[in-house]
Amino acid sequence: MKRAVLVILILISMGLVLSAVGCEEAKESKEPSKKSQPKAEKSVPKEPEPKEEPAEEAQKPSGPPTLADTEGYKQWLKFNREPIEGRTHGLTDIYVNQDRDVIAPHGILKFPFPDGTIIVKEILSSDLISIMRKVKGADPAHNDWEWIEYDAEESVIGKDASCWGCHEQAKAMDYVFTDLEKSE
Ligand code: HEC
């Protein structure tokens, strides 16, 4: 009987030892799995992509007006019904790229002319084209008009001071000598 009890005790203690070892093993096998789990990286909020700036609108056309800027001018509003016997160059036609209602509400020219106005003086006898173009900021001292005169080959005949020096006489009319003839 005593023996049997002893054997049981031994078995029990062995069982305890074994289970203790098992626990250790289990612990060990758990730990590496903890370590090997890389910490989830904090998601750093991405910097917003820089928005593309809209190309700055060209404030000023580069350089003086060209003949291309006056393309189709013969379809524009004409100041005169019959060619003018001009004071400087003989027979002349004068055109403007604006509507009559805009530059002459109630039939009377309104000064100053709006930004973007182009006035073409076509000198019929010599194929010369004189151009005035208003560009905001181009020349505040002369009401922002740009001045140039071309021959048929687009060679520059005159510009700037050689023009406004004389047109200053018409300063009260925004440097424009010619009046708009009434529509029929
Ligand atoms: C000596 C004076 C004088 C000079 C210099 C002169 N102009 Fe004129 N311009 C006139 C007169 C006067 C008119 C009115 C139409 C006419 O009599 O031929 C005129 C008319 C014009 C017109 C039509 C609008 C308006 O004012 O009636 C334009 C555009 C023009 N000139 C551009 C020029 C340009 C560009 C130059 C320089 C290259 C120039 N002018 C130089 C006297 C001048």
Question: Per residue in 90-144, pLDDT tens?
Answer: 899 999 999 999 999 999 999 999 999 999 999 998 889 999 999 999 999 999 9
Which range of residues forms the domain containing residue 150? 67-173
pLDDT tens-digit profile of 144-181?
Answer: 999 999 999 999 999 999 999 999 999 999 999 999 99
57 is a domain residue: no
Q: Which amino acid is at 140?
A: P
pLDDT tens-digit profile of 39-80?
Answer: 555 566 666 665 655 555 545 556 899 999 999 999 999 999
112 is a domain residue: yes
75 is a domain residue: yes
Does 103 sit in the ligand 1 pocket, CB within 6 Å?
A: no
Does 130 sit in the ligand 1 pocket, CB within 6 Å?
A: yes
Q: In whole angstroms, what is the distance from residue 123 CA to residue 91 CA?
A: 6
58 is a domain residue: no
Q: How many domains does the chain have?
A: 1
E strands present in the chain: 77-78, 84-86, 90-96, 118-123, 128-134, 145-150, 156-159
pTM value is 0.73
180 is a domain residue: no
141 is a domain residue: yes
Q: In whole angstroms, what is the distance from residue 54 CA to residue 155 CA?
A: 36
Ligand 1 pocket mutation, candidates 91, 177, 179, criterion most atoms within 8 A of CB: 177
62 is a domain residue: no
100 is a domain residue: yes
